[in-house]
């Protein structure tokens, strides 16, 4: 019995030490970036919290969204004060609680949300989720996201670094044996939008795969339906209008995709829900012609693609032609 207790104690100590080392490796850079005021999520939330009721258009979703919509272009056409609150790997539960936090400080007339299968799947990037929500001013909301959004698994990942950073540990170990050492430049940000100058290479284009469908993704219809209805009710309760979009993909991927379940599903679902939905892959496609070179990789727009997407969004607002102007 004593031998077992000794082994258990040593194992527990080793587990604590490993987690402390991992936390230091992966959380210290975040801490330093916040101190230096260079952390992107921190800066996004600082803009929300410190400029109360100044924004009339909020754009939110995954990294596909933060790379696609440039508020500077949008504001120059619509005369709005918009902000891009999309974040990397943003999950739909994260979107819902983020909007709760946003509505505590802002009174936007419109909320634009990007539709993407992977935002409502059963695979979560807990590090990104908790990195974003760590800047909520409401501790209760942060804890609600952890538990209500992800249950006991969320609590484990929130509390234990070796679980939270599991994917990043695997990626870093794999990179030790990889020849691909490309580091993306993500320094230029405009009101929450990533101004990305990266242009996808011909080699990467040749390796493009079709857009994920029901068989190749872990998209959960029930999870999407649950949180989308919460989002819709939340936006409506704050007298704002919800507009849904699907940001563009490189044309080569569109051509490779025989059955576009993502487009079909969201079009059908949102038509039934009577929520405006615009697919940027087809909206005014004769005017906005995307090229593979408008993208930084297989699904993120670069600054060229973002210009087209941002102008498409302004045309969407013109087409909606609301009685109440965006800017009063």
Domain CATH code at residue 81: 3.40.50.1110
Q: Same domain for 215 and 314?
A: yes
Looking at the fold, whether 85 and 159 belong to one and the same domain comes out as yes
pLDDT at 323: 47
Residue 124: predicted pLDDT: 80
The pLDDT tens digits of the residues spanning 195-245 come to: 999 999 999 999 999 999 999 999 999 999 999 999 999 999 999 999 999
Pairwise CA distance, residues 102 & 141, whole Å: 12
The reply to whether 54 and 188 lie within a common domain is: yes
The residue-averaged pLDDT of 68-95 equals: 96
Residue 292, domain member (yes or no): yes
Identify whether the C-beta of residue 244 lies closer than 8 Å to the C-beta of residue 289: no
Taking residues 272-283, report their average pLDDT. 97
Question: Are 156 and 266 in a shared domain?
Answer: yes
**Do residues 241 and 110 both lie within one domain?**
yes
The residues, ordered by sequence, that sit 6+ positions from 297 with a Cβ below 8 Å of its Cβ are 198, 200, 204
Closest to 52 (Cα-Cα) out of 15, 106, 97, 99: 106
**79 lies in which domain range?**
41-320
Neighbours of 3 (CB within 10 A): 7
- Judge whether 325 lies within some domain: no
In a shared domain, residues 10 and 119: no
The answer to whether position 326 is within a domain reads no
Residue 103 has pLDDT above 90, yes or no: yes
> For 46-68, how does the pLDDT look when each residue is reduced to its tens digit (9 = 90+)?
999 998 999 999 999 999 999 99
Tell me how many domains the chain contains: 2
Sheet of 241-246: strand order equals: 82-84, 57-60, 110-114, 241-246, 277-279
- Asked if 86 and 111 sit in the same domain, the reply is yes
Question: In whole angstroms, what is the distance from residue 108 CA to residue 232 CA?
Answer: 14
Q: What is the DSSP letter of 299?
A: S
Q: Tell me what the mean pLDDT of segment 294-321 comes to.
A: 96
Tell me what pLDDT residue 326 has: 58
Q: Is 152 exposed, middle or buried (0-12, 13-18, 19+ CB in 10 A)?
A: exposed
Same domain flag for 156 and 176 = yes
Q: Are strands 193-194 and 189-190 parallel, antiparallel or unpaired?
A: antiparallel
| CA R_g for the chain | 21
Q: Considering the domain boundaries, does residue 270 fall inside one? A: yes
Q: Are residues 278 and 308 in the same domain?
A: yes
CB 316 within 8 A of CB 278: yes
Residue 77 in any domain: the answer is yes
Same domain, 165 and 82: yes
Residues in a beta bridge with 301: 295
Report whether 307 contacts 74 (CB < 8 A).
no
Average of pLDDT values for 72-97? Answer: 96
d(CA 202, CA 182): 15
Q: Are residues 23 and 49 in the same domain?
A: no
pLDDT of residue 328: 46
Domain shared by 28 and 45, yes or no: no
Asked whether residue 162 is assigned to any structural domain, the reply reads yes
For residue 7, pLDDT over 70 is answered with: no
| pLDDT confidence tier of residue 158, bands split at 50, 70 and 90 | low
214 is a domain residue: yes
């Amino acid at each position: 019995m004593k031998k077992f207790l000794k082994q258990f104690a040593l194992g527990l100590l080793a587990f604590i030490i490993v987690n402390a080392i991992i936390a230091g490796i992966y959380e210290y850079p975040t801490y330093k970036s916040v101190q230096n005021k260079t952390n992107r999520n921190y800066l996004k939330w600082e803009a929300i919290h410190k400029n109360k009721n100044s924004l009339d258009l909020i754009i939110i979703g995954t990294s596909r969204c933060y790379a696609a919509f440039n508020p500077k272009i949008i504001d120059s056409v619509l005369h709005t004060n918009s902000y891009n609150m999309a974040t990397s790997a943003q999950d739909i539960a994260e979107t819902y609680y983020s909007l709760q936090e946003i509505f505590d400080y802002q009174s936007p007339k419109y909320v634009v949300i990007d539709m993407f299968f992977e935002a409502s799947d059963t695979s979560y990037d807990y590090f990104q989720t908790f990195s974003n929500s760590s800047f909520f001013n409401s501790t209760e909301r942060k804890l609600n996201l952890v538990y209500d959004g992800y249950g006991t698994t969320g609590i484990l990942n929130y509390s234990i670094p070796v679980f939270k950073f599991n994917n990043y540990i695997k990626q870093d170990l794999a990179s030790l044996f990889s020849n691909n050492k490309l580091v993306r430049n993500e320094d230029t940000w405009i009101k929450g939008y990533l101004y990305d100058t990266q242009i996808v290479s011909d080699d990467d284009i040749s390796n493009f795969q079709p857009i994920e469908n029901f068989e190749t993704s872990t998209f959960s219809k029930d999870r999407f339906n649950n949180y989308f209805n919460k989002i819709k009710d939340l936006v409506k309760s704050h007298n704002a209008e919800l507009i849904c979009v699907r940001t563009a993909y490189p044309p080569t991927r569109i051509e490779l995709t025989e059955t576009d379940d993502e487009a079909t599903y969201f079009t059908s679902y949102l038509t039934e829900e009577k929520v405006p939905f615009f697919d940027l892959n087809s909206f005014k496609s004769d005017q906005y012609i995307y090229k593979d070179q408008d993208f930084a990789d297989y699904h993120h727009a670069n600054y060229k693609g973002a210009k087209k997407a941002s102008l498409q969004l302004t045309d969407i607002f013109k087409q909606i032609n609301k009685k109440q102007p965006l800017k009063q």
